[in-house]
Amino acid sequence: MTVTLNAPARPKSRNRTLTRFRRNPAAIVGLVVCLLIVLAALAAPWLAPHDPDFQFPEGLTLEGAPQPPGGLYPLGTDLLGRDLLSRLIWGARASLTVGFVANGAAVLLGVLIGALGALTRGWVGTAIMRFTDVMLAFPVLLLAIALTAILKPSLWIVALVIALINWVPIARVVYSEVASLREREFVEAAGAVGAGAGRILTRHILPHLIPTALVWGSLGVGTTVLLEATLSFLGVGVQPPTPSWGGVINESQSYLTTAPWLVLAPGAAILLTSLGFNLLGEGLRDALDPKGGR
Amino acid sequence: MLGFLGSRLLQSLLVLLAASFITFTLVFLLPADPARMVAGPSASVQTVTSIRHEMGLDRPFLGQYGAYLGRLVQGDLGRSYKQNTPVSTLLASRIGPTLQLMLGAIALELLIGLPLGIWAALSRGRWPDTVVMGLAFLGAAAPQFWLALSLVYLLAYRFNLFPLGGYGGLSHLFLPALTLGIGGAGWYARMMRSQLLEVLSQDYIRTARAKGQTARGVLIGHALRNATLPIATMIGLDIGTFMGGVVVVESVFGWPGLGRLVWDAIRVIDIPIIVGVVIFSAFVITLSNLLADFVQPLIDPRVRYR
């Protein structure tokens, strides 16, 4: 009897979350945009009309300038006569790889460090949280530029550096959440019936952090893609010849007045991705926590 | 009050001490050899060894850190590898333009963000609200370097309203300051809207209306002053985002400030300059947070020094 009464309770609340998400048009738009970009990145070999690295002899005008959009090259060609659309589709791979890997690692680190900081009373917890204070004294972008420049930039270095910087705000959010969870009765009860610290963490604390992790997991991809694009634009991100959105803009900056599509199109791709993941993240937050939280 | 001042000051000093330790450790762990970088790739092993000894690089870690900290306290940030000039001299010559840029950005943030936020709050749920909040969202998602290039293309090249770049008067300042501040303007609009909506629902506002005060009078005389209270804190936080943003903005517009200094330094991997600006930023950020904490209770008597 108790079993049948209790069993539907969980799916019901999950359904409510799902309903709230479905009824939020902005969230659905975000989800669709994200899915399309991920699909484009995965299907790059089939979707891209040309080889992204091939320098077409007819891809440049007789004066040696890039070809404008239209005809054989839907978005035009870049300064080396390569097809821009193909480079953008392949570039989605670099951006999303960094976006998912770096942000995934940052969320994982942030949740673990934040939870550890809140659960270990005494100097370990204090030291962890004071360390995050210090990290917040550095400007994110400047620190990322300094680290990638000094460590010799590449796609994986960029991902590593972003992960090592972005876990900090996540850890602080998780810390305050766990610090309040720690005082709640169900945690105390679990402790009273003999559950150890490890069991309390995995069975009673971590499940409560899933919404936070999901929201950051999505919002963070947007900010990470922006950061990666900025680093690549400054020349300390993904290195050529690997196509990346920020890199394409970096290469073609000097063609701004004669070939503006070389700046506009990759910029639109970055904006769309960052917008998509932001919308999805905010939609998730609203659906998981109807009180708002901002 | 004095106790609060003292403890916040001490806390800030400790943060800076730790920040210097972290940056020093990072540079220490680097695979790059500073002595080789100073000597140049063609120097002999003996020269490199003697330079390493001169720079104190053959001493143990903590000894090196102690010496570094000692110089740091005196404002000595080391010497540029490539230009052989003290980093502090280079920094000092670049602070002015960056400060201009930041002040311009803050002014534009307030001029754009606050009125839009008020408009959104007063037309809550109707189209101006939706449009303003949509723009704020867009401003936060747009890459800064792309905004910079788009503004240059549209306003400077196409319509010829502003110079394409370079350092100069207000007309040179406008586009870079706008790029730097446009994301923050959206942030201020959001803050203003939510603050104003909250203030307008308070009892004293209803009382003011009940006593015959007009809607405009309530807004100007009672609501706005209280709604703008978090601004000091927000400007303090802005400085942190700006310290990174100036690298992008100054590199696009050729603005001769700190950001441009970093941008030039990463091209030749001039580590003392890069690290010097990072440390300087940490100092500026800690200082501006500290100032915001002190100023806030002066503006808002409900906030006490704790």
Indicate yes or no: CB of B15 within 8 angstroms of CB of A133: yes
- Distances in Å between the Cα of B77 and the Cα atoms of B46, B67, B89, B246 are 26, 11, 9, 20
Q: Is B16 on the interface with A (CB under 8 A)?
A: yes
Nearest beta carbon to residue B145 from set A230, A260, A275: A230
List CB contacts of B113: < 8 A, sequence separation 6 or more: B184, B185, B186, B187, B188, B189, B191, B192
How many angstroms separate the CA atoms of B231 and B237, rounded? 10
Do B294 and B217 share a domain, yes or no?
Answer: yes
Predicted local confidence at residue A8, as pLDDT: 45
Do B165 and B231 share a domain, yes or no?
Answer: yes
Whether B43 maps to a domain, the answer reads: yes
Tens-place pLDDT, residues A6-16: 444 455 566 77
Last residue of a domain, one of B73, B104, B120: B73
Do B41 and B127 share a domain, yes or no?
Answer: no
Do B33 and B64 share a domain, yes or no?
Answer: yes
What value, to the nearest 5°, has the Cα angle with vertex B136 and ends B97 and A279? 125
Residue B51 banded pLDDT, cuts 50, 70, 90: confident
Tens-place pLDDT, residues B177-213: 999 998 889 999 999 998 888 888 888 888 888 888 8
Q: Is B150 on the interface with A (CB under 8 A)?
A: yes
Tens-place pLDDT, residues B206-259: 888 888 888 888 888 778 877 877 887 888 888 888 988 999 999 999 899 999
List CB contacts of A150: < 8 A, sequence separation 6 or more: B26, B27, B30, B32, B269, B271, B274
Last residue of a domain, one of B73, B103, B131: B73
Residue B108 banded pLDDT, cuts 50, 70, 90: very high
Among B47, B152, B133, smallest CA distance to A267 is for B152
Among A232, A147, A149, smallest CA distance to B267 is for A149
List CB contacts of A161: < 8 A, sequence separation 6 or more: A144, A147, A148, A151
How many angstroms separate the CA atoms of B82 and B79, rounded? 9
CATH number belonging to the domain at A83-288, selected among 3.20.20.140, 1.10.3720.10, 1.10.10.10, 3.40.50.2300: 1.10.3720.10
- Counting residues of chain B whose pLDDT is more than 90, the rounded percentage is 20
Last residue of a domain, one of B73, B107, B136: B73
Q: Is A193 on the interface with B (CB under 8 A)?
A: no
Is-above-0.90 flag for pTM? no
Predicted local confidence at residue A3, as pLDDT: 44
Ranges A45-49, A74-78, B36-40, B294-298: which has the least confidence: B36-40
Nearest beta carbon to residue A256 from set B19, B152, B281: B152
Residue B275 has pLDDT above 80, yes or no: yes
Indicate yes or no: CB of B153 within 8 angstroms of CB of A257: yes
Q: Is B18 on the interface with A (CB under 8 A)?
A: yes
SS3 of chain A: the string is CHHHHHCCHHHHHHHHHHHHHHCCHHHHHHHHHHHHHHHHHHCHHHHCCCCCCCCCHHHECCCCCECCCECCECCCECCCCCEHHHHHHHHHHHHHHHHHHHHHHHHHHHHHHHHHHHHCCCHHHHHHHHHHHHHCCCCHHHHHHHHHHHCCCCHHHHHHHHHHHHHHHHHHHHHHHHHHHHCCHHHHHHHHCCCCHHHHHHHHHHHHHHHHHHHHHHHHHHHHHHHHHHHHHCCCCCCCCCCCHHHHHHHHHHHCCCCCHHHHHHHHHHHHHHHHHHHHHHHHHHHHCCCCCC
Whether B281 maps to a domain, the answer reads: yes
Q: Is B10 on the interface with A (CB under 8 A)?
A: no
Q: Which domain holds residue B59?
A: 2-73
Q: Is A226 on the interface with B (CB under 8 A)?
A: yes
Is the CB of residue A98 less than 8 Å from the CB of residue A166? Answer: no
Do B206 and B123 share a domain, yes or no?
Answer: yes
Nearest beta carbon to residue A260 from set B22, B138, B153: B153
Interface size between A and B, measured as CB pairs under 8 A = 127
Nearest beta carbon to residue B247 from set A145, A257, A260: A145
How many angstroms separate the CA atoms of A243 and A241, rounded? 6
Q: Is B160 on the interface with A (CB under 8 A)?
A: no
Indicate yes or no: CB of B143 within 8 angstroms of CB of A260: no
Task: Provide the domain count of chain B.
Answer: 2
Do B130 and B58 share a domain, yes or no?
Answer: no
Residues of chain A below pLDDT 70: 1-14, 59, 62, 290-294
Do B53 and B125 share a domain, yes or no?
Answer: no
Predicted local confidence at residue A11, as pLDDT: 54
CATH number, domain containing residue B216: 1.10.3720.10
Do B136 and B264 share a domain, yes or no?
Answer: yes
* Alpha carbon distance, N-terminus to C-terminus of chain A: 41
Q: Which residues of A246-284 are buried (b: 16+ CB within 10 A; e: fewer)?
A: bbbbbbbbebbeebbbbbbbbbebbbebbbbbbbbbbbb
Do B14 and B115 share a domain, yes or no?
Answer: no
Do B294 and B159 share a domain, yes or no?
Answer: yes
Predicted local confidence at residue A10, as pLDDT: 53
Is the CB of residue A106 less than 8 Å from the CB of residue A166? Answer: yes
Among B191, B174, B183, smallest CA distance to B103 is for B174
Residue B167 has pLDDT above 70, yes or no: yes
